[in-house]
Amino acid sequence: MTKLRLGVNVDHVATVRNARGGPHPDPVRAALMAAEAGADGITAHLREDRRHISDADIERLMAELSVPLNLEMAATEEMLVIALRHKPHAVCIVPEKREERTTEGGLDVAAGHNHLAPFVRRLSDAGIRVSMFIEAEARQLDASKSLGAPVVELHTGAYCEVPSGPERERHLLRLQTAAAHAVKIGLECHAGHGLGYDTVKPVAAIATLAELNIGHFLVGEAIFTGFTQTIQRMRALMDEARS
């Protein structure tokens, strides 16, 4: 089985920094530490309201990282200009509502085809690998494929939010079915949102997934055991699930 990549999302290091307005803790330092601890890539979401990651963070991540940067962004003209200026390795297009606490659900690619098409085209033309953050539904996968996005990321939030039991198993089955469909139609399939030590293994065991993106849990748990140890434990759980 191929190795499952771990993308570490450093948004919430910036959330803590921004609570006081100074430079500490520095999300770029966290990103460098994450790469050292075994992260295969770094993910950062530049939100319209800049509530965590800032434009200057993206600038520094691009300059200082030796692993790929996956920039999460809404499909807006402002974000497109920023992405085309920095040319990160990857862009993940996410839905964004100003009032939400986090990305609450996947992008409706099927309904948003006409709006999204020029974003996918212009990012792809610039050599940026585009992914669509979607719910685990065949019609969203098919719509992503028809837009020409080479990658999809399945939203694991619903799976993580319910307690373990039959409902979580149903969500897991949806993720498994969607990941298999993605690969069948020629898409690289990623997953993320809400994953922690208790929820990661069944998702990591899905053989057709290539990458998980994890942030909030890692940053929170790092308070107790340190960022390096937290990332290494997550990496080990992912590897165990694959072995």
Q: Exactly one of 12, 155, 190, 193 is catalytic; which is it?
A: 193
24 is catalytic: no
At its nearest, how many Å lie between ligand PXP and the CB of residue 28? 17
Using the rule CB under 6 A, is 92 a contact of ligand PXP?
yes
Q: Binding to ligand PXP by residue 193, rule CB under 6 A?
A: yes
- Which CB sits closer to ligand PXP, 92 or 166? 92
Q: What is the DSSP letter of 136?
A: S
The binder of ligand PXP chosen from 9, 140, 144, 230 (CB under 6 A): 9
Answer for the pair 108, 95: CB distance below 8 angstroms, yes or no. yes
Kindly state the smallest distance separating residue 9's Cβ from ligand PXP, in Å. 5
Catalytic residue flag (residue 100): no
Using the rule CB under 6 A, give the single segment among 55-63, 78-86, 213-221, 225-233 that binds ligand PXP: 213-221
Burial 180-206 (b: 16+ CB within 10 A, else e): ebbbeeebbbbbbbbbeeebbebbbbb
Q: Give, to the nearest 10 degrees, the angle between helix 11-20 and helix 216-225.
A: 70
Strands 41-45 and 69-73: parallel
The position carrying tokens 């940053």 is: 219
DSSP string for 13-52: HHHHHHHHTSS-S-HHHHHHHHHHHT-SEEEEE--TT-SS
Of 144, 176, 213, 230, which lies in the binding site for ligand PXP, with binding defined by CB under 6 A?
Answer: 213
Active site residue 72: yes
Residues at the site binding ligand PXP, with contacts judged by CB under 6 A: 9, 11, 45, 72, 92, 94, 102-103, 133, 153, 192-195, 213-217
Active centre residues (catalytic): 45, 72, 193
